[in-house]
Amino acid sequence: MSVDEKLKKIFAIKRENKKIKLIDQRLLPHKVKIITLHNYNETIEAIRDMAVRGAGSIGVAAGYGLAQAALEAKHLNLEKFNKFIKAASDKLLSSRPTAINLRHSIDRCLKVAENGTVTERIQNICNESDKIAFDDIKASRLIGVYGEQLLKENSNILTHCNAGALAYIDQGTALSPIIEAKRRHKPIFVYVDETRPRNQGAKITAWELSKLEIPYALIVDNAAGYFMINKKIDVVIVGADRIAVNGDTANKIGTYEKAVLAKENNIPFYVAAPSMSFDLKCESGERIEIEHRSSEEITHISGVNDSNEYTKLRITAKNTKAYNPSFDITPAKYISGFITEKGLLKKPFKKSIKNAFK
């Protein structure tokens, strides 16, 4: 991406010993600012406040956060160290409840810390947190390779929310097939849902596509049906925050509506997600906890004014009541397939998911 008029390769998040550095996604697209998190409590706040967001990036942040906690507890004896790590992992798990990547990252780090001295456990946690990031990078690129094969020349693709490099290092999930198509000089066009209420499509996906010089147009969330019925959309690709073993999928609020519209208009609807986003202990979408966020995200809007100053504006009457579920569940019957690092998973999903990730 271009930062300060220079083209640079920047990861959304990285660990430098006990410090975590990440792009503050709250300021995009108006400003690219890299913030430093000095301890695991700061990392928890960054996850909660969505300085870092996207299922994959949240998972990496959680793994790095536990590495921070381990390094903070290096002077404790083994018993106190284990208690400290358990408390830190519980706090990290509570920061965002829907995305399963977070739990998988914590579980992986805890598993490698079951044996050994304090020093050995710290090293194992740090190594595993780094491996989680490395595995995500590899999965991201493979999702692009497999997903690109589903895109015909001159395909018009609809996306929802943000599932690019900021949400999942290093090419994203839903955007990875699009990036791969661009790399292979395959002409494509992307319709970008704005994705209310936080506008991750408008603020981040559109910005990422512009940096990649991929043709796109931003549309309001309610316009998807208009473009579908007028034959402007050939395929829909979205990311996922959690996928049940039967294929029911939790993703950003509004995904379910797009899936129903796609089925009604005979448009393929694909979910791009790595193994870390599948929850094999969850039988169906009914068991997925849905995060509800502040009503202020709906009643207010933020951005920059004509003087390039950040501002927040109330767009409703005072004391307006608002409900703000952050995710919804798309039933498996509306999904054409899952684009994963293992390849394309087809129906029946319960069988293909279990076979791919057993």
- Would you place residue 63 in the very low, low, confident or very high pLDDT band (cuts 50, 70, 90)? very high
Q: What percent of the chain has pLDDT over 90?
A: 93
C-alpha closest to that of 236 among 107, 339, 324, 317? 339
Domains of the chain: 2-140 (1.20.120.420), 146-357 (3.40.50.10470)
How large is the average pLDDT for residues 277-303?
A: 95
Q: Of 96-100, 228-232, 257-261, 332-336, which range is least confident?
A: 96-100
Asked if residue 113 has pLDDT above 90, the reply is: yes
Cis peptide before 177 (omega within 30 of 0): no
Q: Of 3-7, 174-178, 252-256, which range is least confident?
A: 3-7
Contact at 8 Å (CB) between 282 and 265?
Answer: no
* pLDDT for res 54: 94
SS3 20: strand
- Would you place residue 81 in the very low, low, confident or very high pLDDT band (cuts 50, 70, 90)? very high
Asked if residue 352 has pLDDT above 80, the reply is: yes
Strands (E), 104-232: 155-159, 188-193, 216-219
Active site residue 241: yes
Mean pLDDT of the chain: 95
Distance CA 254, CA 226 (A): 15
* pLDDT for res 11: 82
* pLDDT for res 42: 98
How large is the average pLDDT for residues 137-155?
A: 97
Which residue matches tokens 């050995």?
120
C-alpha closest to that of 178 among 139, 152, 199? 152
Which residue matches tokens 């590495």?
67
How large is the average pLDDT for residues 198-217?
A: 96
- Would you place residue 8 in the very low, low, confident or very high pLDDT band (cuts 50, 70, 90)? low
How is residue 146 written in tokens?
A: 């497999």
- Would you place residue 4 in the very low, low, confident or very high pLDDT band (cuts 50, 70, 90)? low
173, exposed or middle or buried, with CB in 10 Å at 0-12, 13-18, 19+?
buried
pLDDT (tens digit per residue) in 235-285: 999 999 999 999 999 999 999 999 999 999 999 999 999 999 999 999 999
Asked if residue 10 has pLDDT above 80, the reply is: no
| Selected catalytic residue, list 241, 248, 279, 328 | 241
* pLDDT for res 99: 85
Look at the pTM and tell me if it is higher than 0.85: yes
End-to-end CA distance of the chain: 37
How large is the average pLDDT for residues 59-78?
A: 97
How large is the average pLDDT for residues 150-165?
A: 97
